[in-house]
Structure 1
């Protein structure tokens, strides 16, 4: 599987591989979550009998009812009227002006030398009265009425004008609305007729003028009325169909109103809303975008990025599948069995097999998806208690499982997760303010513990499968490989005890140096245990295993000796592959000598007068690709060189370590890994300090007599 995945990524490139994995993951997630968001729909028509009691699955505003209530409130608003005090004076002034015009025309006629015919007099007065706006005084006089006005004396006209204008002024000082106008005019006519002093011939004309003078004194303020209407509408609370509200009882007729509400809720098959589906697509898109950014920017080699991506995608998908299964059986229970979901499973697996950032992301993604999948029929968007439950449980495992060197550490984390789960369950039960029986309380707290136990058990159970399938190297796997009872380590100890001791010493040096620069010290230690495994093929050809003092290389051509020594890297890698060891360990076995030169045998060949290509005496490589491999290559050479040194002291060790590192740098052995000069200086210091501790001067005890 590892080879197939490598071929695929090499063929299409990591970015396209990443996109393909995310598309497949998103499609799987959508197919599993689709049924949880599409909602409940019914296929029926109005006036049918309801097959069951139908309740609203969400809270939604009934816009039709809301509009009806607002219109009702608007119609109930009393118009705002405004009284005008100036109307009385204005109307009285118009009455006075009308009589003044009559007096002016009468004076004009009387001042003429030649008398005018009555028809001309009437025409002259009518023309004069036309200057009064008809809208202000909507009255039309007959010729007889005008003629009667002209024949009245100046005194009678003046008296009539004064009396009528005063009456108009007094009467219009009270509120009169449009609807009350006919009654007011009739009442005013009675007042005119009740007064004395109007000549009989013009009484009808005075009544006509008086009635025309009465208009509205209190008119509607449309702006204020409109504001009152809007205020009344805004005061009406929206009418809502509430979650769980019964729309129609089982066996009842689904009338038009109930059918309209079901359509509004999207519970009728042909009216089902696509909004939740679109919302689900957006949620999945956001999740996949975050995963894309995370793995696109992950700073590690392509193989590790690919494996981390696949692990995260598979673990997340398995979590969705598990949620789906729990959701299917949830309807059979009266309690929220979603609390049985292993809150920290995805977090712990991704934390152990990928990295912390991916674990945080998958925790949030799992929680969000669980909130949607576990939502009950009458919850809103998400089941928030389940979402928070998974977030707290997952984060508890992140905070309390920082260093996993034993499987017992997972069990310790499970204990902490149990406490966090139970604390959240307590919060949930208290916040619901409901009464729970003993059996329900026991279920919820047992569910909290079961969730934590399942998280730990499934993590330990699934971990080996992921490690085997993707060739992953977790901390727990490294701890297992460091066990001296491992078949390869037992083989190394039994067949090459000198090499075994050398490997342990190199492991101590490499681990200390790695930890000093922030590299993986545990990986370096375990890699050192196996880095010289190839020496078990020809133990006697390596000086640390030559107990008899006989060195077979003394009687061999230098090129043959070099071939045997060089072969231990590839031999070791082949043996590790046969035992299906992690690729990181195999790489260390191949890279711990890089392409360095076997100077001893090259010089020996030259002394014998033989001419060889220098490549004959170089290791095949590759050069160290990681900091751990680079450090092991230095530690391996340093340990062997110091062990062969006579009377080592701090100064000699320091010079030796520096010369070995400088030689590797000048030989370009570190060109393919991201180790810096500053880190090499730090490694040099740590190696010297560790070697001084190992090869310190010892007290010479006196010999016994």
Structure 2
């Protein structure tokens, strides 16, 4: 059943937020003015523009060179190898006999091609070198290698190689005393081995250009960025950007709707997990309906307010009385449920109020809704006091105003006094409306669904109620006992966070069934014999065990809430009437089953009923003591709780061992205050006799 309600809630949520995720379309014409400011509804990466920026950044990085200090020595070595090869060929040729064939000049040149390498030396110059004497070649070698080493000891860029070669020619011309043809050959040879020694560092250049490329930020249209302002011309580039943002396409994208569906499923799954144990119980089905109604009421209320603000009056957003829903949830259910629901509603608000937002989510309104809802819940506190609602409304107004001021100051925008005043006024009205709606709707919900509210409980606690008057007049001992149980159970319930007022009122009515046969109950047997002494134990059991169900019938006749009926029926659970059971065992020769002398039940289903049952037993036991002491009181309380725990009387309610320990301590302290020691006064003072 609860799951079906959550499907309905999901459908309403999807309907409410459908328009908030529907992709926006604009009607613009190329090369015409824009009718309004057009913002991008999403972030769009401009891949072509990004690539162009990266290419420019990469190109802007210059080549990186390094100075090769060993290049001069290497080139001098190569020149030396070439001249040594020429000398060796000449020596071989000189040793040949006259009848041996000698190498032609071309053959000689071909033999040194490998040694010459990349050096650009003409055949004519090589011929002059081949024809030079050994001493001349040694002189050329010394001079040329010296010039190469000297000039290449400095950094020579590729563009300055020619200058260095011209300097080499000048140095050789000034220092060489060769014939002109050998001098020219030496110049050409030296120049061919002078190269640039600033070498391109390919790896460093590549890394630097990659860094420059990677440092370029992606070109993008940011979410909420103005693509074109009102009145500006829609150029081809602008129109292209509008297309990329999906503002001109006639094709419908289903991605936002799928995202909305996932968003709703995520929220409702968490919410369902939180409430399923509470609302799946049979007696809480109406609570599930009330919860769904209040949740949808808050959701639709936010949507209505958001539609009012679409016209541009953004301040109207702050008027949403979201605290009304959370305060009613707090008073009808629990503080935890109210806070969790408020978180879910604030997340929905981020979408619902996105109409005038620069992005898909309005987190400012989400924060405002969250703070406003929490303020109402926190101010109401743990006690269910209806007269605090008006004060809670003004407290919410104060918190709302502080929230708006905080938002405006953090945004650091420029606001006129009129705008600021309107927003602060809306925030104040929000809190006031929240209290008015809570006061107006809460009684209606309580009346329609039969919710046992604080006001109803206070009404039922009136001692002039006909049923309580009946008990007072016909079973005064029971009435006094009920008052005592009410005091005990209220204190114990409040100590563990249960509903103390419900426990007090339930205690008033828990034994009204005794008014049907008052004299069969010992608290009403004043100055009379006990009628149970004259009847069989089985008959006594029938009379005693009937009072919870007689009381429940009487409570139903007066149309009291179901919670009060349940307390009357369940406060004894399935406990054993020990006195009459043992009496029956003594009078009978046959074995008697305990089940014959147990209350039919059911066992306690709530903490309040369980605590009332313990308080009922404790009050009766302590009252039977002739001289109750703190030690005896503690022992009785612990014994009663332990026996009921072992008997499984708490198996069907959610009370914990720690809470039972707290209940025991509270009952002990309360009873100690009632049965505290008193000074014994003598009937008359003893007279001191004179000596």
TM range (shorter): 0.7 to 0.9
Which residue in the other structure is 1:620 paired with? 600
Per-residue CA deviations over 1:130-155 (Å, capped at 9, x if unaligned) read 441624x255x65x765554333345
Which residue in the other structure is 1:525 paired with? 504
Residue 88 of structure 1 pairs with residue 72 of structure 2: yes
Which residue in the other structure is 2:687 paired with? none
Residues 419-498 of structure 1 mapped to structure 2, 5 A cutoff: 419-464=398-443, 466-467=445-446, 472-473=451-452, 475=454, 477-484=456-463, 489=468
Residues 18-417 of structure 1 mapped to structure 2, 5 A cutoff: 22=6, 24-42=8-26, 52-57=36-41, 62-114=46-98, 116-120=100-104, 122-124=106-108, 126-127=110-111, 129-132=112-115, 134-135=117-118, 137=119, 142=123, 147-169=127-149, 172=152, 176-178=156-158, 199=179, 209-210=189-190, 212-233=192-213, 236=216, 238-242=218-222, 245-249=225-229, 254-269=234-249, 280-281=260-261, 283-295=263-275, 302=281, 312-375=291-354, 377-380=356-359, 382-417=361-396
Q: Quote the Cα distance in structure 1 between the aligned partners of 2:585 and 2:202.
A: 115
The two structures, once aligned, show a CA RMSD in angstroms of 5.0
Residue 692 of structure 1 pairs with residue 671 of structure 2: no
Structure 2 unmatched ranges of 5 or more: 685-691
**Mean Cα deviation higher: 146-155 or 442-451:** 146-155
Per-residue CA deviations over 1:59-89 (Å, capped at 9, x if unaligned) read 6554433332332232222222333343334
Does structure 1 retain, via aligned residues, the 8 Å contact 2:96–2:102? Answer: no
Shift of 1:325: 1.5
Per-residue CA deviations over 1:643-673 (Å, capped at 9, x if unaligned) read 7x7x954369959994994997599483645
Does structure 2 retain, via aligned residues, the 8 Å contact 1:42–1:269? Answer: no
Residues 655-694 of structure 1 mapped to structure 2, 5 A cutoff: 658=636, 661=640, 665=644, 668=647, 670=649, 672=651, 682=665, 685-686=668-669, 688-689=671-672, 692=675
Does structure 2 retain, via aligned residues, the 8 Å contact 1:596–1:669? Answer: no
**Mean Cα deviation higher: 590-599 or 92-101:** 590-599
Shift of 1:528: 1.2
Residue 483 to residue 249, structure 1, CA distance change in 2 (3 Å): same
Residue 650 of structure 1 pairs with residue 628 of structure 2: yes
Per-residue CA deviations over 1:588-616 (Å, capped at 9, x if unaligned) read 11123334567899999999999999977
Shift of 1:119: 3.8
**Mean Cα deviation higher: 28-37 or 603-612:** 603-612
Question: TM-score when scaled to structure 1?
Answer: 0.77
Q: Quote the Cα distance in structure 2 between the aligned partners of 1:54 and 1:681.
A: 69
**SS of aligned partner of 2:115:** coil
Residue 203 to residue 485, structure 1, CA distance change in 2 (3 Å): farther
**Mean Cα deviation higher: 410-419 or 246-255:** 246-255
Does structure 1 retain, via aligned residues, the 8 Å contact 2:224–2:359? Answer: no
Q: Quote the Cα distance in structure 2 between the aligned partners of 1:685 and 1:27.
A: 53
Shift of 1:47: 6.7
Structure 1 unmatched ranges of 5 or more: 1-7, 9-16
Does structure 2 retain, via aligned residues, the 8 Å contact 1:335–1:440? Answer: no
Q: Quote the Cα distance in structure 1 between the aligned partners of 2:575 and 2:89.
A: 135
**Mean Cα deviation higher: 521-530 or 385-394:** 385-394
Q: Quote the Cα distance in structure 1 between the aligned partners of 2:419 and 2:534.
A: 84
Does structure 2 retain, via aligned residues, the 8 Å contact 1:406–1:479? Answer: no
**SS of aligned partner of 1:82:** strand
Does structure 2 retain, via aligned residues, the 8 Å contact 1:478–1:523? Answer: yes
Q: Quote the Cα distance in structure 2 between the aligned partners of 1:514 and 1:380.
A: 49
Q: Quote the Cα distance in structure 2 between the aligned partners of 1:701 and 1:458.
A: 64
Which residue in the other structure is 1:13 paired with? none
Q: Quote the Cα distance in structure 2 between the aligned partners of 1:180 and 1:273.
A: 63
Question: TM-score when scaled to structure 2?
Answer: 0.79
Residue 26 to residue 486, structure 1, CA distance change in 2 (3 Å): farther
**SS of aligned partner of 1:79:** coil
**Mean Cα deviation higher: 194-203 or 388-397:** 194-203
**Mean Cα deviation higher: 213-222 or 583-592:** 213-222
Per-residue CA deviations over 1:324-350 (Å, capped at 9, x if unaligned) read 121122112433322112243343233
Does structure 2 retain, via aligned residues, the 8 Å contact 1:372–1:381? Answer: yes
Does structure 1 retain, via aligned residues, the 8 Å contact 2:376–2:396? Answer: yes
Shift of 1:39: 4.1
Q: Quote the Cα distance in structure 2 between the aligned partners of 1:146 and 1:631.
A: 121
Shift of 1:163: 4.8
Shift of 1:185: 6.7
Shift of 1:527: 0.7
Per-residue CA deviations over 1:282-336 (Å, capped at 9, x if unaligned) read 544543443344346x699945776766655553333222221211221124333
Residue 262 to residue 580, structure 1, CA distance change in 2 (3 Å): farther
